Every structure is written in structure tokens, then in C-alpha cells.
Chains A and B, each alone.
Chain A
């Protein structure tokens, strides 16, 4: 090594040593994956999830009005009776009949509808950690939401996830008049920090909801590890987790054929009526998410909100295109990413209530 190289090596070592490392508990992916899996097959299963009716909003059916927007290309969706658009109560957001607390984030992807507290932040979507029967994953730091294609919670708990070494309990979580059966599993996780020479156990609390005949949603919360202690999930975190599980639902899907114009029309009228904003003309997406679909991008709110509509030839083509759906899955931030019929729709906006409205119109489209 010559003098210049030595200079570079020393200087690089000196400066890089000042780069702070993340906390030890974040070095490994969490939660750990019990098995390695083929994501493609699992994802294909997720698209095939049976439709569950979720939110009946008669007022939003008016959004199907066929000539209400600028986009007038013919749609394969059947026409519905035209009705006036009533005011939506501002700020009111309801999932499965329960009220979503103000400020919570909404997500409509991985085949499910999820509301999470702001403390959880925005999720990481799994790309490579799919498991047999597991069709979706949203990671919120130490907390997570898992989606399983299974006909019973017991099968997930005993066969796919923990091999029956934990004790499932049954409880009911109540909010307003909503009652849901939720299975609870408590897990104690041992940990050891080699660098600091500390160890302990911390609690993982898993809630399982049978969201439809063949979809189980798992909401996992983990207590932060405390040196030389048996750390438990706090009461406040438990209450938040209970509500996340209560609100979790399957996102309606459809095997029908839709056109981009149908979605554009819905979005345009939703924005016009509820936000007095213009969706804009939209344009072909130059930064392609997939080569197998026609892609259109719309921006509004001064460019702060964006929507992508991926239109596949048919549903078979969508199911065969792992690239596009995977891109949609791992989109970062506050994103609604829905697969309906032959469409993948991705909407990113900071307006949580607008996200809710869009989820509802997409649910209506899927019916």
C-alpha cells in the first residue's frame, strides 16, 4: 500500500467510525421469519382472496355516475343508478363499523384494510419474507401486521407460525357496538446483547382475527427490550393493538374487468365533490413499474399527492406479473395500494380522510 492509499484508508476509517450505528435491536430484521418462502406463490394467493363486503356507503355509489368526469372512455363495470352525492361527515372514518381514532393512518394493501396509530409510523412492506400461507406483511418497527391465507386461526398458530408451542386464548374486543373474536398469543422472547453483555426477555403479544372465511390477520406488538428485565407490552400499547386488530378487514377484490377510465372517473368526482380539487389530465407513466401493464399517473394538490393506475389486459395477466404487483407492495409511505380485478391502483396522499374516501370508492368498484 502506498502513501496515498494509507492516507485514504486512515481517513476513511476515522470518518466512518463517526457514523452512528442503529440500536442493537434493529440490526436484525424483526420479527424473525420462521421459514424461508417463495413470495411469488404467496402473492398470487393473496390476489385470489375471497371478497368480503366491508363498508356499505350508498352515498358513494353515486360516484359510479358514468358521465360525471372528464374521462369518458367506456368501462366494463356495470352502470349503477345515478344518485346525488351527499356530504360525508368531515373526519369520520369507520372500518368494519368501528370508528377509527382521529390521526390514525390507513392502509389498503396486501389484500387487507388496516388502520394504525400514528405512533407506529408508516409501514415497510415485505418483499422477501413471505411464508407458506402468508400473503402479506406490513412492518411498523417492532410491531407488524401479517396476512395469512388460512381457514382458521388455530391452523396459523399451530401449524404455520409457532408449531403449537404457545397457548392461544380467546378474548373479545369491544368498541362502540362492535364485537370481534380475537385470539391472543403471548410469547416471551429471550435476547442477548453481546456487545454490552446484557440480556433479558421481552414480550411479544400476537392477536389473530379471522377476517374472512380464508383470511387470518395477525397483529403483533413487541415490548422494547430492557436489560436484565422481563419487559411487558404496556397497557397503552395493548389498547392500541386491540383496536388495530378490531379494525382489520379484508379489502374487497373482484374478478371483473375494469378500464382506467372507470377509476379515473371515480377519483375525479371524489376529488371534485369532497375536496373541490382537480385530478388533472394524467399522463403515461415514464418510470414504469411494470412492463406488462398500461400505466397512467395523476398528480394533484400541487404535486403532493399522486395516483398510479396500472391496467392489465385481464386478471390473468395481472396475476402473472410479479414485477408490477411487487412494486406496488413495497411502495413506501402513506400509500393505498389496491389490486382489483385487472387493475392495480396506488394512491399516495397525506390527506388521511381522502385516503379513506378512495378506499371506499375502490371498495364500491370491487362490489
Chain B
């Protein structure tokens, strides 16, 4: 895939992948940075990419976690770093509950139901077994249902 094609695809999928990253817990500015990192890697051309949105999400979420780890080292500075606040989770009930799940469950839920991947594709994107995807999905949905209540 050449550079121009990649940039066009990136532009098309950016809103979905950006929101998917925020949905799993990234702050908006972190999601931007992580997507930039993923695009740079995509333009590198070393990797064959079948499903760009899923690939960008997985690569960007790894990048986000690495950055988070490093940011943790500089936690004393957080107060004056000028970072944008996290989205108003209290007004987004499902997203707020999603954020309380383990990262793997969040990734699976977002890949399956926000980016629309099948179980097989989700398993391939995350490098895990199909059965693990099914079990993780089931556990995550059960927890969300439990926390949000059956009537919501």
C-alpha cells in the first residue's frame, strides 16, 4: 500500500479508531499521539496490513500503553503538564463502566462492537485464540450488564 493510499485510509478510519482509543481509557491527546505513532509505523511500509482500522487500533493502543508507563514515572509533573481532561465519563455510563474493565476485555469489546470485527478477526488482531475472544467477550458483557443493571 503506498503512502497516499494509506493516508486516505487513515483519514477515513481516524474518527472510529480515535474514539475506540478514548473508549478504552486513553485521554484525547494520548489517543492523538498514539494514532500518529501508528500512522508513522504504517507508512514505514514494513508490515502487510489486512484490516487497517483494527491494525491502527492495536498498534496505537500499544503505543498508548507504553507512553502511559513512561508518564507514570513523571507523575509528580502531571498537575502542571496542561493535559486536557478525560472525557466526561459520568455522562457516558457505558464508557465509564467499560473503563473499569481489564484492558484485554476493553480491547476485545471495542474491536468487536465499535470497530465491528468478527471473533476470528479480533483474535488475529490481538494475537490470541478465538476461544479466548469468546470467553473474554462473554465475561465483559456479563460484568457490564451487572454493573449497569438489566434495565439500562
Partner of A19, one of B11, B19, B141: B19
- For B18, the chain A residues whose CB sits under 8 A away are 19, 21-22
B145 pairs with A4, CB closer than 8 A: yes
Chain A minimum-CB-distance residue to B73: A287
Q: Give CA–CA (A11, B147) in the complex, Å.
A: 14
Known: A9-B113, A304-B76, A335-B77. 20 other contacts (CB 8 A): A4-B145, A5-B141, A8-B94, A12-B94, A12-B95, A16-B20, A16-B95, A19-B92, A26-B32, A27-B10, A27-B35, A29-B36, A36-B45, A128-B37, A303-B76, A305-B76, A306-B77, A333-B80, A334-B77, A348-B77
Q: Give CA–CA (A327, B152) in the complex, Å.
A: 44
A334 to chain B, nearest CB (A): 7
B18-49 with Cβ < 8 A to chain A:
18-20, 22-23, 28, 32-33, 35-37, 39-41, 43-45
Partner of B77, one of A29, A127, A287, A333: A333
A331-367 with Cβ < 8 A to chain B:
331-335, 348, 350
Secondary structure class of chain A's binding surface, majority of residues? loop
* Chain A residues within 8 Å of chain B by Cβ, number: 44
B113 pairs with A5, CB closer than 8 A: yes
A52 contacts B by Cβ under 8 Å: no
A12 pairs with B76, CB closer than 8 A: no
A171-204 with Cβ < 8 A to chain B:
194
B48 to chain A, nearest CB (A): 17
Question: What are 6 A-B pairs at a CB distance below 8 A?
Answer: A8-B94, A8-B109, A12-B95, A19-B95, A27-B32, A332-B70
- For A305, the chain B residues whose CB sits under 8 A away are 76
Chain A minimum-CB-distance residue to B23: A16
A291 contacts B by Cβ under 8 Å: no
B64 to chain A, nearest CB (A): 13
B81 pairs with A8, CB closer than 8 A: no
A348 pairs with B39, CB closer than 8 A: no
Which A residues have a C-beta under 8 Å from some C-beta of B?
Answer: 4-5, 8-9, 11-13, 15-22, 26-29, 33, 36, 121-122, 124, 127-129, 194, 287, 289, 299, 303-306, 327, 330-335, 348, 350
- For A4, the chain B residues whose CB sits under 8 A away are 141, 145
Chain A minimum-CB-distance residue to B15: A21
Contacts A4-B145, A26-B32 hold; do A11 and B74 have CB atoms under 8 A apart?
A: no
A122 pairs with B145, CB closer than 8 A: no
Q: Give CA–CA (A304, B80) in the complex, Å.
A: 10
B71 contacts A by Cβ under 8 Å: yes
A27 pairs with B11, CB closer than 8 A: yes
B14 contacts A by Cβ under 8 Å: yes
Q: Give CA–CA (A22, B109) in the complex, Å.
A: 23
B92 pairs with A18, CB closer than 8 A: yes
A280 to chain B, nearest CB (A): 13
Residue in B15, B39, B76, B109 whose Cβ sees the most chain A Cβ within 10 Å: B76
